[in-house]
Amino acid sequence: MKTLYKLKNILIAFIAILLLHGCESILEEPVQSQFASENLLSTKKGIESLMADAYARNNNVIMTRDVVKREEMTADILWQSGGGENGTAAPLIGFRWDPSSTLEAFDWMNYWQVIRDANIILESVDNVSDFNNEQDKNQIVAEARFLRVWSYYQLWNQYGPMPLRKSQADELELPRATNEEFASFVEAELKEIIPILPEPGDEPAYGRHHKGGAQALLCIWYLNSHQWQNCADIAQDIISDGYFSLYPDYNDMFALENEQNEEFILVKTKLANAGNNNTLWATAAPSFPAVYKEGLDGGLEGVVNEKWSNFASNYRLYDSFYNSFEANDQRKGRILTRYIDTQGNTVNLLDYTDCTRAMKYPPDPDASGSSHGNDVPMIRYAEILLSRAEALNELNGPTQESVDLVNQIRTRAGLENKSLTDLGSKDLLREQILNERLWEFWYEGKRRRDLIRTGQYIENAQSRGITNATANHVWFPIPQSAIDANPLLEQNPGY
């Protein structure tokens, strides 16, 4: 991935040099043939430059942060006030979003641009003559198809079934696919590319997609579409393949030095002080308060802020979330509750309402400002274990296997095992799994979908005093700009 990122920058820089040659001379001279689109995309290098663009859009720093905002500010984990983030955060927190949302419009555009890039690649590969072999070509095709279906999944998560644009030659105006058409497309795409993608560890560069990532996405798709047997089966395939395992220390797992660990299945790679950096540290808390000087807990014991940005926006955790952890749960170990401020005073955030801070991604020692290099996992092995446990419970109620899967997660968190007697009904085990997911995946953008899947999303919002929350809020509104551009695109109900 980082190789592709550099390749993209080289290509952009070279084009910029051409532009600096002078507008008049460029207008007068014919375009150099090697940069004509039909020639650029007739080589493997050209195809990979477009692939780099697709990855860069998919890894976009704001989109990565938006996943956490959208999935956790609309749930019971995260809120914020003040600063430039407030314009998009306040509507999410209060369930007051509408089709004019700039947040939705931005992310909508980026996902469709990834789909566009993937379609161009798929339509161009047959014209490339310098692939090493047929397998080389097939892997590029499978990788592009994965980027496309990943983007479609992200769009579905927000808006429901989308128009299925599989070719640049498709009509500009397409209607939305039906639920059945969309589900069939996602499943077929992933099942077809799984045997073609490289095995985990054999991909051309870390961060590029492999078989395990496609299997994991299919598992999560089955989970969120209530296809319990299929979910249980593909989860078992991933477990049996043996490529992934739980990282021993939960709180160290997200540190820069532990990138490429055995738990991360699907990852967005990040580089410090670059366009695809990780700002979950600086902006999403922000992660330390404006007057932070030195941490006293939250994994920041003795860590002094000398060069990292403090933002006016303040992302904070609800007390109800912080207090929901069991006393010895190590998974709350990266939540900041105490620090020394710039005046030397000790501040206890628990003295204030809903004020603790998320420090899940330890600061990158080499970063400055808000740009850190920690990679961001989209799917971890822990989610596969809990997905199989949930699917088995929905199929058959509690079994020793489903409880054992939950206990693998609890053991890593430093907690006592649950017994089959403790979780003796389907409802009890379902609620336990939902709670384990809350404690395991906080700040990873999973909570909204978990609550929707279990039928608790609107009830959860209303219990927090958001009385205007209705069933229509399960889906976000399609951006008005997209509706205006495509008369066949039907808006979601209630907007």
Locate all alpha helices (DSSP H) within 41-133, ordered by sequence.
44-58, 61-72, 86-94, 102-124
Amino acid at 151: S
Residue 447's nearest CA partner among 267, 336, 320 is 320
Rg of the chain over Cα atoms, rounded to whole angstroms, equals 23
Residue 97's nearest CA partner among 487, 480, 451, 431 is 480
Query: Backbone phi, then psi, for 10, in 5-degree steps?
Result: -60, -45
172-204 in b/e burial notation, b at 16+ Cβ within 10 A?
Answer: eeeebbeeeebbebbbebbeebbebbbebeebb
d(CA 349, CA 338): 6
Is residue 366 within 8 Å of 373, Cβ to Cβ? yes
- Helical pair 179-193 and 211-224, crossing angle rounded to 10 deg: 160
pLDDT tens track, the chain, 495 positions: 444 444 444 333 333 333 333 333 323 334 443 444 566 788 999 999 999 999 988 887 567 788 899 999 999 999 988 788 888 899 999 999 999 987 777 789 999 999 999 999 999 999 998 898 999 999 999 999 999 999 999 999 999 999 999 998 999 999 999 999 999 999 999 999 999 999 999 999 999 999 999 999 999 999 999 999 999 999 999 999 999 999 999 999 999 899 899 999 999 887 765 555 555 544 344 456 778 889 999 998 988 877 776 677 788 999 999 999 999 999 999 999 999 999 999 999 999 999 999 999 888 777 666 667 788 999 999 999 999 999 999 999 999 999 999 999 999 999 999 999 999 999 999 999 999 999 999 999 999 999 999 999 999 999 999 999 999 999 999 999 999 999 999 999 999
Residue 43: what pLDDT? 93
Residue 450's nearest CA partner among 438, 467, 468 is 438
Residue 425: what pLDDT? 98
d(CA 138, CA 193): 9
What is the pTM assigned to this prediction? 0.90
Is residue 146 within 8 Å of 193, Cβ to Cβ? yes
Is residue 372 within 8 Å of 389, Cβ to Cβ? no
Would you tell me how many other CB atoms lie within 10 Å of the CB of residue 334? 25
d(CA 144, CA 148): 6
Rounded to the nearest 5 degrees, what angle is found at the Cα of 66, between the Cα atoms of 62 and 70? Answer: 170
Rounded to the nearest 5 degrees, what angle is found at the Cα of 481, between the Cα atoms of 479 and 484? Answer: 115
Instruction: Decide the pairing of beta strands 335-336 and 264-268.
Output: unpaired
SS3 151: helix
Burial (CB count within 10 angstroms: exposed 0-12, middle 13-18, buried 19+), residue 400: exposed
Rounded to the nearest 5 degrees, what angle is found at the Cα of 245, between the Cα atoms of 240 and 249? Answer: 165
Total residues belonging to the chain: 495
The DSSP string of 410-471 is: HHHTT-PPPPTTTT-SHHHHHHHHHHHHHHHHTTSS-HHHHHHHTT-HHHHHHHTT-TT--G
Residue 155: what pLDDT? 97
Locate all alpha helices (DSSP H) within 368-418, ordered by sequence.
381-396, 400-412
Is residue 196 within 8 Å of 188, Cβ to Cβ? no
- Taking only the tens place, the pLDDT of each residue in 391-434 is 999 999 999 999 999 999 999 999 999 999 999 999 999 999 99
Alpha carbon of 113 to those of 60, 109, 118, 137: distances in Å? 12, 6, 9, 22
Alpha carbon of 373 to those of 71, 272, 275, 306, 368: distances in Å? 22, 4, 11, 17, 10
Residues near 28 by Cβ (< 8 Å), separated by ≥ 6? none
